[in-house]
Structure 1
Amino acid sequence: MKLLKLSAVAALSCALSISANAAETKPKRELKNNMMVKTNIVPGEVDSLSEMFTEGMFYGRIRTNYFKWDWKNDDTAATGNKDNEAFGLGGSLLYKSASYNGVSAMAGFYFTSSPIAALRQDEADIKYVKAGKDTFSRYQISTTGVWEYSVLAEANIQYEVSKTKVIAGRQIFESFLTKSNDTKMIPNTFEAVVLETKELAKTKIRGAYITAQKLRDHTTFHDVITFKDEAGNSWANNDDSAVHKGLSYQNFVTAGEDVNHELIVIDLHNTSIENLKVDVTYGSVPGVVSSITGELNYKIALSGGYSLTPGVRYMNQMDNGGGAVGGATLKGTLAIDKAPATNLGYKDRYTLDSSLWMARLVLKKGAFKAKIAYSAVEDAADIVAPWRGFPTGGYTRAMAQYNWYANTKTAAAELHYDFNKAGLITGFSAMARYAIQNFDEAKQAAGVQADSNILHVDLRENFGNGLYAKIRVGLVSADSRVSGVEKDSYNEYRFELNYLF
């Protein structure tokens, strides 16, 4: 029955694709392999204020997402696990104005719903939903019982002169630390002022002052780091899966610290040296935590049309006061509101000082891409990055995995093949990733998971005329916890359908 319902949704989306303009050789927008939108056509310059709006462009998207999470051990009483599923149907409508004297504006309205009761958890079980939680708002359901919501996630004004631009308002800001992570129904966006300049040759410099964040399953913008609200609701403020739970509203109040925070991100991208990409990122939540990250990628041409690109990334995290409030672990088990008998496997309870390094080799030729990578976190504090940027992303992170806990080491291999580019199967591409994650067993008492191996497979099809489909599978085999409980093994399945117009 579930497959029949999904097929009906797919048929509806296919029917909608008939109206697409097949004559366009280049669509206004298209989806990249990670299902993030790439915009190809934008409004140009105009000569009057009225034309600024009449010559603007609309961008639409209809999307569905289905998630099935199957735990190996779903004995809820013993593990806290419960098999779960979720289904989302929604979309977005964006408007971007033309540019008049360097000034332009845009707005993005997003909507999501869970209309099929048979494909979602009961209201009482939404706390068990894993990957599919971003198809609805847990906070809204817990307070109103409503399974759909809409939000103006983007609304900003931009001024551009020469090679410099300023964007103010609600916006997507893609950086090492912050991502839209638009793989569900509604992207992660920020209220911010962003300055970007390319005045220096082969160099892009950006600075962002972020005052609020709207996570993918939230209806409103909220603090960038504070967990829970004044009433203690766990699904308010920043409840990202990677949030530092010790940095809670009540803990900040207890410590006499401000509960309202900003996030500052400054980054630099340089390609002055041939074949070498240099990236540096500074991030800070003043009074809480900061970090500086450097990355180098050097492309080497090989015979036969191959290229080999070694890459390294190093992140140094600095405690600016957050450690004394929330403690060293992301789970909050060492925060000031806890009374552990030991440091739960951590060397220093009240610090966020830590570091992370990783390396990779990427081999490419035409439709083929292969990668091997390794990452290691210092045996100090966990890495704080709840803005969907994923510190190990592009290196060793696998789907739904968080491998930046202290003293975690990960090795990963990845293969990607674009069958369309190879002229074999129109519109089809596939990716397989295998990661071996070595967590610190001594930190399981603090909430860190057991060692695991994960196989992650993506199958993607571009049907043309704006219609895309993607199947994702994650198979996780984990050791039992030190306590003897099997808690971390599961299989995950995702299906996504997109129609752009």
Structure 2
Amino acid sequence: MNLIKMSAITALVCGLCISANADDTKAKRELKNNMMEVYNTLPSSVDNLGDAFTKGVFYGRLRMNAFKWDWKDDVAGSIQDNKAFGLGGSLIYKSAPYMGVSATAGLYYSDSPFSGLRDSVADLKYIKAGKDTFSRYDAKTNGDYYMAVLAQAYLQYDISKTTLKAGRQIFESFLTKSNDTKMIPNTFEGFVLETKEIPKTRIRGAYFYAQKLRDHTTFHDVITYSDSNSTSSPATWNGNDDSAVHKGLSFKNFEAAGKDVHHKLILADVSNKSIDNLKIDVTYAAVPDVVSSITGELNYKIALPGGYSLTPGIRYMKQMDNGGGKVGGANLGGSLVTWTGSTATYNSTKGYSTPDSLESSLGMARLVLKKGPLKAQIAYSAVSDDADIVAPWRGFPTGGYTRAMAQYNWYANTKTYDAEVAYDFGKADIIPGFSAMLRYAIQDFDEKKQAAGVQADSNVIHMDFRQKIAKGLDAKLRIGLVSADKLSSYSSTPGIDKNSYNEYRFELNYLF
């Protein structure tokens, strides 16, 4: 066992021992249904530097994740059934604020120790949802099926209602999420400034110069696909290889275009609740000289008789091309552009009328009905028939509206219809600690774009079941059932079903 692996395990065990001797009268953290962490207890301010460390707080987490992906039809060399298993946890330390200054460090560990519960190195390219239990790059290059990562490490300064953070951190926003549903969260390196000085208003700005996806042990560029070695495995697994990445925005293509391969992600958002029952959100995001977007969202809560509420919501996103279209093309698959030396040719026969442009837009609407333990929603989304939406930062553009588990419905000219219902049986005093969610989505993709790799039309059933077993311990079962059409004559493999599958996920979490 090497030093890194041993150190990570030792830190987790020490954290567990500290927790066992601590006052356990109140849960320090809780998990939302999307596995985002909510801190109930934070260190109090101190008046000397020594107490800043001795009165800090440790937060521990042990977790297990198991995955099974069952394709309806395996396709030799393309798709095959796959599985994965992860066991590990995290130890986060927050120092007590001294003169407004504090620090946070988060060590995360994941291991896939049982060969019978994971796929072999030879089959790494086939792994879907379970790939985030280990690093494919490390498994391919070193045979390592574990990850030990200092994913959070930042300084924080608070004054009045303003906070500045610098370093490795989680940033939950419209386009950037921790998406902590596997073993290790998605985090960023950079600076975040947040202020709530204006009543009922939150304003934030972020400048990120690196990102670490959930299945990576090192930080990498925020958008460049693959690294400097090549555009094939395992180099593709050492850059931004998110499932929603734009593969045309690769190291190879940026270099051929004479562009910088190192990029920054700039975000700014405003959230306002000045008008009763109305929430207004505006987000700006940009990778300079590549792509940018501005998004507006309105949600208005209407009180109904009998304790019900109805909230109509709309979201509109406008994506602007700042040079990325000429580099990588309009399609996320990157198949619309071919570079020969420093000259690019663009393919207009794969369903995209402007194959060298990332100009696009996305509109959504929803109705949310709530009462006590019940939440029901219907939603619709539509992408303009221009370019695909670029968003490889684990914040999903259709999230909260029409996105179902493991689905990417922001390709150009895609329309999605969604209905879902969630019920908290514990809150209703029916089954203690139990909650469930059922979603049904109809995804209407553009058949002509199958030539560029866009999937076939599909119907999705997505179910979540969560059970709180004991204080700090809960289990969650997720099921995705996808029934898709066979690929059309526009595809390079017509008549084949490459999009129907059943997916099963099971996880255990213990917070201490």
Per the normalisation by structure 2, the TM-score is 0.93
CA contact (8 A) 1:343 1:349 kept: no
Q: What is the SS of the residue equivalent to 2:369? A: strand
Does the 8 A contact of 2:338 with 2:346 survive in 1?
Answer: no
Aligned to 1:470: 476
Distance in structure 2 (CA, Å) of the matches to 1:280 and 1:65 = 35
Q: Conserved in 2, the CA contact under 8 Å of 1:20 and 1:466?
A: no
CA distance 1:386–1:181, change in 2 (3 Å): same
Structure 2: how far apart are the matches of 1:20 and 1:396?
42
Aligned match of 1:500: 511
Paired with 2:346 and 2:84, the residues of 1 have a C-alpha distance of 36
Q: What is the distance in 1 between the residues matched to 2:97 and 2:354?
A: 53
Distance (Å, rounded) in 1 between the aligned partners of 2:22 and 2:162: 36
Give 1:8's aligned residue. none
1:74 is matched by which residue type in structure 2?
D
**What is the aligned partner in structure 1 of residue 305 from structure 2?**
303
In structure 2, the residue matched to 1:152 is 150
| Paired-residue identity, % | 68
Question: 1:9: which partner in 2?
Answer: none
Query: Would you say the 8 A contact 1:327–1:336 is kept in 2?
Result: no
Q: Is the 8 A contact 1:21 1:465 kept in 2?
A: no
Offset, 1:484: 0.8
Deviation at 1:374, TM superposition (A): 0.1
Aligned to 1:13: none
The question of whether the paired residues in 1 share the 8 Å contact of 2:337 and 2:347 is answered with no
Q: 1:404 to 1:160 in 2, by over 3 A?
A: same
Q: 2:500 maps to which residue?
A: 489
Residue number in structure 1 paired with 2:9: none
Aligned partner of 2:260 among 255, 258, 268: 258
Alpha-carbon contact 1:454-1:476 (below 8 Å) kept: yes
- Paired residue type of 2:274: S
Note if 1:234 corresponds to 2:236: yes
Report deviation, 1:473. Answer: 0.3
Q: Given the superposition, is the C-alpha separation of residues 343 and 309 from structure 1 closer, same or farther in structure 2, using an over 3 Å criterion?
A: same
Match of 2:324 in 1: 322
The corresponding residue for 1:173 is 171
Equivalent residues of 1:324, 1:336 under 8 A apart: no
Q: Does 1:405 align with 2:403?
A: no
Q: Which amino acid aligns with 2:41?
A: I
Structure 1 Cα separation of the partners of residues 304 and 430 of structure 2: 25
**Deviation at residue 149 of structure 1 after TM alignment:** 1.6
Query: 5 Å matches for 1:153-302?
Result: 153-232=151-230, 233-302=235-304
The residue identity in structure 2 corresponding to 1:67 is F
Q: 2:289 touches 2:322 (CA, 8 Å); kept in 1?
A: yes
| TM-score normalised to structure 1 length | 0.95
**1: CA distance between counterparts of 2:130 and 2:210?**
24
Cα distance change on mapping 1:493 and 1:133 into 2, 3 Å: same
Please give the alpha-carbon distance, in whole angstroms, between the structure 1 residues aligned to 2:510 and 2:320: 43
Confirm or deny that 1:351 pairs with 2:351: no
> How does 1:61-210 map onto structure 2 within 5 Å?
61-77=61-77, 80-210=78-208
Alpha-carbon offset, residue 75 of structure 1:
2.9
- One-letter identity of the residue aligned with 1:484: G
Partner of 1:11 in structure 2? none
Check 1:82–1:98 CA distance in 2 against 1; reply closer, same or farther (3 A cut). Answer: same
Which 5+ residue runs of structure 1 have no aligned equivalent? 1-15
**Could you say what secondary structure the match of 2:332 adopts?**
coil
Contact kept in structure 1, 2:59 and 2:91, CA below 8 Å: yes
Checking the alignment, whether the CA contact within 8 Å between 1:347 and 1:380 is kept in structure 2 is yes
Query: Could you give the per-residue CA deviations for residues 350-378 of structure 1, whole angstroms, max 9, x where no partner exists?
Result: 00000000000000000000000000000
In structure 2, C-alpha distance between the alignment counterparts of 1:159 and 1:426, rounded to whole Å: 40
Deviations 1:115-144 (A, max 9, x none): 111000011001100000000100111110
- State the match for 1:39 in structure 2: 39
Aligned residues, how many?
484
- When the two chains are superposed, the root-mean-square deviation of aligned CA atoms in Å is 1.5
Rounded to whole Å, the distance in 1 between the matches of 2:318 and 2:349 is 22
Which of the residues 373, 376, 386 maps onto 1:370?
Answer: 376
Work out the CA distance in 1 between the residues paired with 2:22 and 2:192.
36
State the alpha-carbon separation in 2 of the partners of residues 119 and 30 from structure 1: 29
Deviation for aligned residue 1:234: 1.1
**Are 2:346 and 2:355, in contact at CA under 8 Å, matched by a contact in 1?**
no
Q: Report SS of the residue matched to 1:347.
A: coil
Does structure 2 conserve the Cα–Cα contact (< 8 Å) formed by 1:248 and 1:326?
yes
Give the 3-state SS of the residue equivalent to 1:235 in structure 2: helix
Q: Structure 2: which 5+ residue stretches go unaligned?
A: 1-15, 489-493
Give the Cα separation in 1 of the matches to 2:133 and 2:435.
25
When residues 213 and 26 of structure 1 are mapped into structure 2, their CA distance, relative to the original with a 3 A threshold, is same
Deviation at 1:35, TM superposition (A): 2.0
CA distance in 2, matches of 1:181, 1:368: 24
1:454-482 CA distance string (max 9 Å, x none): 00000001112210100000000000001
Where has structure 1 moved over 4 Å in runs of 4 or more? Answer: 19-25, 338-341
* Structure-2 change in CA distance of 1:372 and 1:352 (3 Å): same
Distance 2:207 2:417 in 1: 35
SS in structure 1 at match of 2:408: coil
The one-letter code sitting in structure 1 at the alignment partner of 2:215 is D
Work out whether 1:26 is the aligned partner of 2:26: yes
Q: Is the Cα contact below 8 Å between 2:347 and 2:355 reproduced in 1? A: no
